[in-house]
Homo-oligomer: A and B are copies of this chain.
Amino acid sequence: MGASKTDSFTEGQQAIASIAKALGHPARVAIVEYLLKVDGCICNDIVDKLPLSQATISQHLRALKDAGLIKGSIEGNAICYCVEGKTVKRLQSYIAGISAKLTAKGTECC
């Protein structure tokens, strides 16, 4: 035993967890930041920007895509990736919800 007991939690909890997990590695945070900075949402210049191999970056891109945080469309013989606003907003409103409940509560208890 020891595998992720992922079922036995709600859909919502799993959905948030999987988005958060995708952002749970500095390389992927860096990739998202890069995609935001580059205005054209260009593709694999990323390989030159990060100290990781092409294979590894491709894996991270896949993780981000699986989580719905980015999407890519074929653009000639390259691929154009960009951040998917919908998913970002979903995470954003979830965190905002937590934050709101906290301030509604008033004092932090401990």
- Which chain A residues have a beta carbon within 8 Å of chain B's beta carbons? 4-6, 8-10, 13-14, 16-18, 20-30, 32-33, 36, 39-41, 51-52, 71-73, 75, 80-85, 88-89, 91-92, 95-96, 98-99, 101-103, 105, 108-110
Taking CB atoms, residues of chain B closer than 8 Å to A72 are: 110
- Which residues does chain B contribute within 8 Å of A14, judged by CB atoms? 26
Contact A51 B92 (CB under 8 A): no
- Known A32-B98, A36-B98, A108-B85; judge A20-B23 contact (CB<8 A): yes
13 extra interface residue pairs, beta carbon distance < 8 Å, beyond A20-B20, A72-B110: A4-B25, A10-B30, A13-B26, A23-B24, A39-B105, A41-B109, A73-B110, A82-B108, A83-B102, A88-B95, A89-B99, A92-B96, A95-B95
A5 to B33, CA, bound (A): 18
* Copies of this chain in the oligomer: 2
Given A85-B108, A99-B92, A103-B85, A13 and B30 contact (CB-CB distance below 8 Å): yes
